[in-house]
Structures are given as C-alpha cells and as structure tokens.
A and B are shown apart, each in its own frame.
Chain A
C-alpha cells in the first residue's frame, strides 16, 4: 500500500516536471547560468594564480635572485651555498648590451647559465630550435624572433666591456618575462630593452664585468648573479603572503651573509688603498718640511750677507767721512758733504739694526740642511765684504797722513767698486735660489693635489650594491597579479548581483508554480496526503531544478569562465603557454549552493506553507481574484478613458497581481541593471585615457631635461622654443616624484610646480571634482587630484604631508581637482619657494603644438636634439600605453555583458513562458471567441512589452547604483575611473532588453499558436 502510494506520488512528480518542461528548463537554465557565472568568476583569480604558479614551478622559477655590482667570488658563493633551505643555487651573469642585426641596434638583456637543461633554474620554454652548446651560440626571446631575428642568424652583442658575435640556435620564452610587453630598461642605447638573450657562462664572462673589477677584487673568477630556488617554496603559491613569508626567511639569511661579506670586502679594499695613500702623504709631508727648512736657512743666510754688506757700506761711509774731514782742512766746502755722509751712515746703521733683529728671528730655528752651493756662495761674499772692510781700515790709518789723501781716495773708490760688485753677486744668488725654491714648491703642490685626488678615489671605492630580486620585482608577475586583482574586484559584486537576480527569478517561478497548482495540491490533500507530502513534492522539484543546475553550473562555470578569461588575458598580455589549472574553492561552491538551492527552497517552502494552511476544499477552488478592486490607473480617468479596450485589459492583467508584477519587474530590472553596469564599467574604464589626456592634461608633448635648470635659464629656452613653427605654447615646470604620506602606506605621486599662471589653462584643466568649477592655483595652498584626496580622506582647507627629496613638508589643500590617472599635487612657484625655502629649478617643459603632423614633429625633435633641450615625448603615446592596460579589463567586461545579456534573455523567456502556461485556458477561450492570431499575440505580449519597458526603466535606476558601487571597487590606487554613467550605456541596455522581449515574443508566437482550443473545454485546473 505504502509502496503503491509512493509510486503514484513519484509519478505525479515526474509528470509535473515533464508536463512543464519549459518551466523546469527555464528554472534550470537560470540557476545554471547564475551559478556558473558566480562560481566561474569567483574562481577565476584563483585559477589565474594557480596556473601561473604551476608554470613557474615547472620551470624552476628562481625564488630569489641576487645581483652584486662588485660580483660574487667563489668564496662568496661558498659562504651561502650551504645555508639551510636552499634547494638549488646557480650562478652566472646578467648584463645590458646592444644587439646588432643589419646595422640596427637594439637594447637587450643578456643572461648566462652554466648549462641548459630541464633541471636548471629559470628553465626556458624552447619554442623552436635547440639550446646553446657552445659559447658562441645563443637562444633569443620570442619577441625578438617576432620582430625578425631568425634561427641561424648571427647577432653581435656589444657593450662597454667588449663585443662578441653569437649564432642564434633557438627561440624561447622565459619565466622571468611572462608578459608580452615590457622588457625592462637598459643602461645603453635608447634606454629600453627589445628582448633578452641567453648564452652560456663559458667564455662570456668578459662581457659582464669590466677588467678593473677583477683587479680591484683581485679575483680570477667573478659572477654577478646568483639564482636560488627555495626548498619547499613550490608548495606555496607565488601570489600568496605565505609564499612571501616563506621566501623571506631564507632571503634574510642569504642577504645578511652576502651583505656582511660585501661590507667586509669594502673595508678591505678601502683599507689597502688608504694605507698606500697615507704613505704617500707622509713622503709629501717630509718633502714639504725639508723645503720650508731650506727656505728658512737660505733666507737667513741672505740676510746675514746683506748685514755684512751694510756693515761694509757703513765702514766705507765712515772712511769717506774721515777722508772728507781731512780734505776739509783744505776745502771748507767739504763740510756740507760731510754732513750728508753722516746722515747716510746713520741710516745704514739703523738698517743694520733691523736686519740684525730679523736675523735673530731666523736663528731661533737653527738652520739644518742648507743648500751647500748657496751657503758657500753667500759665505764667500761675506768674506769678500770683510776683506773690503779690512782694506778700508787700512785706509783709515793712512788718512791720518794728509799726504796720503789721494791714495786714500783711490782706495775708497776701489772699495766702493768691490762692495758694488758683491752686492750684485748677492742679488744674482738670491734670484737663482728663489727660482729653485719655487720649482720645488710647484713639485710639492702637484704632489699634494695628486694625493687629494687619490684620497677622492679611495673615497669613491664602490661600496658594492646587492640587489635582491623576488617575484615582486618581476614586472611581468606584478602586472599579472594586478590584472588578477582587478578581476577579483569585478568578481566580488557583479556575479553576486547576477546570481541574486537569477535566484529571484527562479524563486518567482516556483512561487507561481505552487500557486498555479493549488487545486492539485488541494486534491492531494483531500485524498489524504499529508501536508508534508505535498510540500515534499515541490521541494523535490526545487532540488531537481536547482541543485543539479547549481552543481552543473559550478562545474562547467568553473571550467569555462576562468579558462576563457585566462585565455583572453594570455592572448593579449602574456605569452607563456601555461596549461590552465582550474582552481575551485569550496567556499565559492558553498556560497553558490546556498544562494541558489537554499534560498529558492526556503522561499518555496514558505509559499507552500502559507498556501497549504488553507482547507483542502478552499484549495481546490481557483484562487479568488482580489474582490472588485480596480487598479489605480482606472482612477486616473483621463488616461484610462483614452486606452482602447484591449489596452485596458492588458493593464488589468498587469496590475491585478502585485506580487507577480513586482517580481517580474525586479527580475527584468535586475538584468537590465547588469547590462547597464557592464557597458557602464566598460565606458568608465576606457574613457579614462581620453579624459586624462585630453580634458585634464591639455599639453601635447612633454620635454624632459637631463638636469634641472634655473627659472631664468628656462626663460631663455622658452623664448627659443616659442619661435619654432610647430610650437604654440611652452611652459617650464618642476615635475617631480614625491611621496604623499598616508597613515599606513605612502602614496606615490607627482608634484608639478608652475611658474606662471597666465597660460596655465593651456596645459592643465583645474576643474573642481564636484562642482566642475574652475580652480585657481594660488600661493596659499596646493591643488590635489580627486582620487588622492579620497584615499587620504581630506577635504579642501585640510593639510597634507608630502615628502620631497627626503624632506617632509606640510601643505594646505586649496583645491581638489578632477583627475583620472596618477596622484598629482600642483603648486605655484611662490608656494614652493616659501615652503621649501629654495629657489625653484625646473626640469620639464610642457608643449602645445600648432599641428601634430609628422614633419612638424621631426623638425622639432631635431631642433631639441641640436640644442640639447631634452627628450620629447608625446602625450598620445603615453595615453596609448595606458590604453593597452585598460584593454585587459575591457575583455572581462565584454564577458560580463554577454552573460548579462544571456541572463536577461532567459529571464524574459521564463517570464513569458510562465505567463503563457498560466493562461493557456484563457488563450484557448479567446481563440474560440474568434480572436485573430495577431489579436491573441497582442493580448498576451502587450503585457510583456509593458513589463519590459517598466522593468528596464527601473533597471536604469538599479544600474546607476550598481555601477557606482562597482566602479569604486574596481579602481586601482592610481586611477580614478570615470564614475558617471554615459547615456549610451542606458540606451544599449534598454534596447537589448526590449529587443530580447520582442524577439522572445516573436519566438513564442509558435507556442501561442499551438495552444489547443479544446483546452477551453476542459475544466479549470
């Protein structure tokens, strides 16, 4: 009995599923789509990281790479080799070089390896050819191959260290370069790399480091790169904190060992050099001392000689006086002459006193090493002077004798002559010696400057820099991660809303099914089935429809969405051929089940309970429509009167059942909102470039000067540039990177200081981010970009801290401007100078061009080069680069739009289908009454169209809110997406919704045609 009861019961259930195939399928597909989308998108970031991690693991991605400017010696390597935790360690070289093919030079990064095999760290993916076996063979970056370098070709690699020719034997992808673009910077050529090249260590070391380095370190073998894989790191996902922590433990050990060795090395190098230098200094000091001493001795001897000479002159003068006295006896006129001579004698005596004093000064430092010849010569002179004196004395005695006067006169004359001769000799000696001394001094000075130069060199001995490269320094991985993050943020909200809409619709469908089948439920109840039996029937139905749809959705969604998104990303941005590894999170699966199965089941249960609480007899009768109530519209007579009869009927049908009405409307509105959001986000993201580089920044080109120049010099440049045909306006500014200080993490920003406010509107558009009013850059405060203000949580008149070249300044914010990309702080010259207490020096110029055509550009570029006015870059190109990044977000959004469209379609189909199913008997009746086909279509579909219109209009409101919410979560720190929704997004969404409605109506005509008129003869179920 029980068994039989059960079997009939189950048969009824099967029948109800199959009888309402369309309903079952639409619930199934809505839940399926919702679950697939939700689970798929939420699992995408995980899949992306898992896939990349596996790829990196497979190719032994170096967890840690160290680069040393002074190289690593064998001892250095030996010191870290055995540190616990290292799985594998390899050493080699990496260096910048220029690659020459067909006279074309391109910057490349060259990596060397001991060997190439699958066990090596950073094992490349060989796309074509083979790995190098000889030292003059190389494998090249796939990107280089794409730009024309072929296997078998010879390429010349050169840099400051040398030049070598290599034969290309293979084409590779490398785990260190997973992105298609961005090969990093190069210290040679135009500063960028076109790709990388990998060669063997053997015989290629000379290209990596200069010979001086080997001399300096006194080593025969040096490497400049060490790559390490960490034991157990493969177990952790590269993009997780756990991995970072894991790596950091070993990094600390290795880094500290290497740093210690590095600083010891520095100490040793500087110690040796300093010692040599100190010796030289000592020699110099000794030489200098000798020089000073010799000079002193010489000077004192000369003085002595001079004193002797003067003494001689005095004696001579006295003798002459005596002679004249004697003569005066003969001539009275001689008296005058005598007086003069007396005076001369006195003066000389006085001179002598002075000189003696001086000599005493010298003699306090007793002379040691006197240049012999000089001293001898001086002594000789002294002796001669003394001889003269002696002869003078002899003369004196003879003066007494008047008779000898003449002879005396002769002797005096002779003595005079001798004194004069000796004086001349002395002067000559002095001159000669002084010359020698000056030469000695010059030599000493030169030695001194050489010594200080040497000191400088010692000071310049490189401290040796150690660079650690982890996944956070790898541009490709960082880019990959940020892409993953932007998907993550999109996957947060959008699929949830999507899923909620689908859950709501499936719930609506179930509710209506329960209500529709109330008489059947009543019959079952009347037959004696328990309430639970009846409810169970719906629960089982729900489980069949939602549980399996949900499970299938999770499985297929998780397979499909991550795959397609990863595929698209890979196609556009990345080049690695990593096999997609699907990541599926249990949490996501649980959420999916909860939303679709449990929510729908709970709602169904609720409806069943409230329906089945009625007595079976009541249940068996059709539900009474609300008594005599007229819809609101009927009260608005001026509209109601104008409606045709059929339109009135439609209105009645729509508004009679409020719950049904609202559920339909909300379902349609939700789908429309999702489409609006999709288009809106797409617009918001893609409009950034246009807004930033056309509306906000108005200049066409940017000139970077190598060094900062003063404002007065800038005026000169500006004047010259303004005379060029191509140039319309020029403004020299300070354009400098700054840190904008925030509580936790500092923001990276750009400070722009304008000199003049006259033309500022030609270069930047200061527009208030809220009101759109023009802002003025005054001397009171800075103008800050809106996104930055939002991140700092500051308003106008607040202050902010910025760090400029290591110094912190506090500035007032006088305006917050509309800006979409990067953090900007604008300042006037006066404010800058008063805040920093420095004169403004400018380093950039903004240009607006009259015409952007190629000939103008070329001639201007040539001019800039000639004049050394700096490098010119065009805003258009800068914009394009950003555009490329944005495109990747675009791809995901296109998927969102497609899915939202699909959901919209299924929801509309479902609602239409329910309407038809519920009213089959009514349709049959009007057919019997003689309604023509078109009238039947109108009777049913007019309702759908009106619901769609109302729903899509309401959807614009939802869409506006959802977009506003989502756009903020998708934004990155440096970007503010255009937050307003553009009109076309609304239009698109409405057109799509209405288009789908009309299309579905068209398709569903068939169903209406198939409604059999005989239905009308059956009793109402």
Chain B
C-alpha cells in the first residue's frame, strides 16, 4: 500500500527578532490511505505546525509534503485553498460552527463548495443527529456540536480528515464517543483520519501513532490491532 501522505525533511522556522525558532526541525513521516493516525506530543512539540502544514494553512520553510503524490509544500495560496476545499476535512477543538446556521446548514455550508460531496442529511443521520438537524449550535450540547462539526468535515468527502484536539473541550464520556465516531467514520467512509492530541492515552486506538518532541518525530508505532476506544481508559 502506497503512502497517502509523506513528510520529508520538513523544516518550519519562525524568526522572532534575532532568534530563529524551528517549530518543525526536520520532520519525516508517512501515512497510508485509510489509516487512523494519532499524532501525539506535549505542548510545544510542534503539533500545531504539523496541523497547519497538513491542513494547507501554511507552507514549510523547506522540505516536501506529498499528499496523494502532489507536493503541497510548493503550492501557492490559491492552490492551497483548492487543496483545503477538496482534500481536507477539518474538525476543530472548539467546533467552529457558524452560529447563525442550523446544524444542517452548517454541514451544507461545507458540502456546497465541495467537488464531490456526500448528502448532508445522510451524514448527519450517520453521526446520530437526525433529530437535531434544524437546531442552531447554541441549542446543542458540546458533543452534539462536535458531531455537527465532524459531519461538516465528512460531508465534503475529503481525502483526509484532520482533527485538532477534537475532545479538548468535551467531557470524558462525550470525548470517548466522539473518538468512537471518528474511528467509525474512518471505517465507514474509508477515510484517512489524523487526530492531533496531547493525550498519549489515545495512542492504542490508532493504526499509526506518531510521537512528536521538540519539532521532530520521536517515534512512529504501528498497531496491528488497535484497541476499540471503549477499552481505553485515561
């Protein structure tokens, strides 16, 4: 199976005054299609930088990022927008739903712009919100809002589902069910899912775990038999 994503010698440096900080200091890893990946690291390990680069929100200082054979590191802003539009589904820590739109409309907002979208209602049913489609975000709980956010990401039918601390704002049980949902979506839609978290306890549920420390990949684990989320405690 060939790699969907390849990070090769990625360096991202920020210059602050006289000091140059390497947020990513030569990152290398691969992710295969359909894998559930957890990128784990403490604060300051360079998670957000990886997320920004992978999400098409930023470009590296040097190195190659191959996504489905395309080097997105060389993309200009326009190409990056198209990349985000078509290839990436994003799940935010704080859901980032549009407050003025109902659950369904929030999903439609994303699916409308996608080349090859999934049916919004269908996806919402899939995430278990068939009853709450007409509700506004403020009328839903955090877990429900995150489900809408996941549905919004999936409805675009992206190559890659990027999740930034998806359980960060949720309580333990809700967090678990959201992770379960993500895993389920990964399998249902054969979608590559990358979860970025500081919580290393989640590692066992992933097909592939990438450890980050000081802007470098510290180690990659492959789980032949990932544990279901229900069995993981933290």
What residues of chain A have their CB less than 8 Å away from a CB belonging to chain B? Answer: 622, 624-625, 627-628, 645-646, 648-649, 652-653, 656, 921-922, 924-933, 935, 1013-1014, 1016-1020
**Stretch of B15-23, B109-117, B208-216, B220-228 at the chain-chain interface:** B109-117
**Contact among A624, A645, A933, A1018 for B81, CB-based, below 8 A:** A933
Contact with A along B28-71 (1 / 0, CB 8 A): 00000000000000000000100110010100000000000000
Contacts of B48 in A (CB 8 A): 1014, 1017
Contact with A along B124-138 (1 / 0, CB 8 A): 000000000011101
- Chain B residue with minimal CB distance to A931? B113
Verify if B88 is at the interface (C-beta below 8 Å from A).
yes
CB–CB A645/B88 < 8 A = no
- In this complex, how many residues of chain B approach chain A with their Cβ under 8 Å: the count is 38
- B153 to chain A minimum Cβ distance, whole angstroms, is 9
**Stretch of B4-12, B89-97, B186-194 at the chain-chain interface:** B89-97
Cα separation A625 to B140 with both chains bound (whole Å)? 12
Verify if B207 is at the interface (C-beta below 8 Å from A).
no
Answer whether A628 and B164 are a contact pair too, CB < 8 Å, given A649-B105, A930-B85, A1014-B57.
Answer: no
CB–CB B88/A625 < 8 A = no
Contacts of B114 in A (CB 8 A): 930
Contacts of B156 in A (CB 8 A): 929-930
- Chain B residue with minimal CB distance to A644? B112
CB–CB B100/A653 < 8 A = yes
Q: Would you mind naming 6 contact pairs between A and B with Cβ atoms under 8 Å apart?
A: A648-B105, A649-B98, A929-B85, A932-B85, A1013-B57, A1017-B93
Answer whether A649 and B136 are a contact pair too, CB < 8 Å, given A656-B100, A921-B96, A930-B88.
Answer: no
**Contact among A622, A921, A924, A1017 for B164, CB-based, below 8 A:** A1017
Cα separation A932 to B114 with both chains bound (whole Å)? 11
Contacts of A1017 in B (CB 8 A): 48, 51, 92-93, 164
**Contact among A624, A652, A929, A931 for B101, CB-based, below 8 A:** A652
Cα separation A935 to B84 with both chains bound (whole Å)? 14
CB–CB A628/B88 < 8 A = no
Answer whether A935 and B113 are a contact pair too, CB < 8 Å, given A625-B100, A649-B101, A925-B98.
Answer: yes
Answer whether A928 and B81 are a contact pair too, CB < 8 Å, given A624-B138, A1014-B52.
Answer: no
Contacts of A924 in B (CB 8 A): 96
- Chain A residue with minimal CB distance to B168? A1019
Contacts of B135 in A (CB 8 A): 628
Add 13 more A-B contacts to A930-B156, A1014-B48, A1018-B94 (CB < 8 A).
Answer: A625-B99, A628-B134, A628-B136, A922-B99, A924-B96, A926-B109, A929-B84, A929-B110, A930-B81, A932-B85, A933-B81, A1013-B57, A1016-B96
Cα separation A231 to B221 with both chains bound (whole Å)? 106
Cα separation A1019 to B164 with both chains bound (whole Å)? 12
CB–CB A1016/B109 < 8 A = no
Cα separation A899 to B63 with both chains bound (whole Å)? 55
- B29 to chain A minimum Cβ distance, whole angstroms, is 21
CB–CB B96/A645 < 8 A = no
Cα separation A921 to B113 with both chains bound (whole Å)? 19
Cα separation A624 to B96 with both chains bound (whole Å)? 15
Verify if B144 is at the interface (C-beta below 8 Å from A).
no
Verify if B82 is at the interface (C-beta below 8 Å from A).
yes
- Chain B residue with minimal CB distance to A621? B138
Residue among B52, B78, B90, B169 with most chain A CB within 10 A: B90
CB–CB A1016/B92 < 8 A = yes
Contacts of A628 in B (CB 8 A): 134-136, 139
Main secondary structure of the interface of A (DSSP, over half): helix
Contacts of B110 in A (CB 8 A): 929-930
What residues of chain B have their CB less than 8 Å away from a CB belonging to chain A? Answer: 48, 51-52, 55, 57, 78, 81-86, 88, 90, 92-94, 96, 98-101, 105, 108-110, 112-114, 134-136, 138-139, 152, 156, 164, 169
Cα separation A926 to B113 with both chains bound (whole Å)? 11
Contacts of A656 in B (CB 8 A): 100
Contacts of B88 in A (CB 8 A): 930
Answer whether A645 and B108 are a contact pair too, CB < 8 Å, given A627-B138, A652-B101, A931-B113.
Answer: yes
Residue among A921, A928, A930, A1020 with most chain B CB within 10 A: A930
Contacts of B134 in A (CB 8 A): 628
**Contact among B90, B94, B101, B112 for A928, CB-based, below 8 A:** B90
Cα separation A645 to B102 with both chains bound (whole Å)? 12
Cα separation A648 to B88 with both chains bound (whole Å)? 25
Contacts of B109 in A (CB 8 A): 645, 649, 926, 929
- A800 to chain B minimum Cβ distance, whole angstroms, is 65
Contacts of B164 in A (CB 8 A): 1017
CB–CB A645/B112 < 8 A = yes
Contacts of A1016 in B (CB 8 A): 92, 96
Contacts of B98 in A (CB 8 A): 649, 922, 925-926
Residue among B81, B93, B98 with most chain A CB within 10 A: B98
Cα separation A1013 to B99 with both chains bound (whole Å)? 18
Cα separation A929 to B80 with both chains bound (whole Å)? 11
CB–CB B84/A928 < 8 A = yes
Cα separation A495 to B139 with both chains bound (whole Å)? 46
- Chain B residue with minimal CB distance to A935? B113
- A15 to chain B minimum Cβ distance, whole angstroms, is 20
Cα separation A931 to B156 with both chains bound (whole Å)? 12
CB–CB B100/A649 < 8 A = yes
Cα separation A998 to B116 with both chains bound (whole Å)? 34
Contacts of B96 in A (CB 8 A): 921-922, 924-925, 928, 1016
Cα separation A527 to B100 with both chains bound (whole Å)? 31
Contacts of B83 in A (CB 8 A): 930
Cα separation A648 to B100 with both chains bound (whole Å)? 11
CB–CB B84/A930 < 8 A = yes
Contacts of B139 in A (CB 8 A): 627-628
- A295 to chain B minimum Cβ distance, whole angstroms, is 128
Cα separation A594 to B135 with both chains bound (whole Å)? 45
CB–CB A652/B100 < 8 A = yes
- A664 to chain B minimum Cβ distance, whole angstroms, is 16
Contacts of B93 in A (CB 8 A): 1017, 1019
Cα separation A624 to B164 with both chains bound (whole Å)? 25
Cα separation A624 to B137 with both chains bound (whole Å)? 9
Cα separation A653 to B105 with both chains bound (whole Å)? 13
- Chain A residue with minimal CB distance to B153? A929
CB–CB B82/A930 < 8 A = yes
- Chain A residue with minimal CB distance to B87? A930
CB–CB B112/A625 < 8 A = no
**Contact among B94, B112, B136, B152 for A1019, CB-based, below 8 A:** B94
Contacts of B136 in A (CB 8 A): 625, 627-628
Contacts of B108 in A (CB 8 A): 645
- A919 to chain B minimum Cβ distance, whole angstroms, is 9
CB–CB B55/A928 < 8 A = yes
Contacts of A625 in B (CB 8 A): 99-100, 136, 138
**Contact among A622, A649, A929, A1019 for B90, CB-based, below 8 A:** A929
Cα separation A625 to B55 with both chains bound (whole Å)? 30
Cα separation A695 to B190 with both chains bound (whole Å)? 82
Contacts of A935 in B (CB 8 A): 113
List the 10 shortest-distance A-B pairs measured between CB atoms, nearest first.
A930-B85, A930-B84, A925-B96, A624-B138, A1013-B57, A652-B100, A625-B138, A928-B90, A656-B100, A929-B110
Contacts of B112 in A (CB 8 A): 645-646
Cα separation A1017 to B165 with both chains bound (whole Å)? 10
Residue among B84, B99, B152 with most chain A CB within 10 A: B99
Contacts of B57 in A (CB 8 A): 928, 1013-1014
- Chain B residue with minimal CB distance to A1013? B57
- B192 to chain A minimum Cβ distance, whole angstroms, is 17
Contacts of B55 in A (CB 8 A): 928, 1013
Cα separation A371 to B165 with both chains bound (whole Å)? 156
- A1013 to chain B minimum Cβ distance, whole angstroms, is 4
Cα separation A216 to B200 with both chains bound (whole Å)? 127
- Chain B residue with minimal CB distance to A654? B100
Cα separation A624 to B136 with both chains bound (whole Å)? 10
- Chain A residue with minimal CB distance to B52? A1014
CB–CB B105/A932 < 8 A = no
Contacts of B94 in A (CB 8 A): 1018-1020
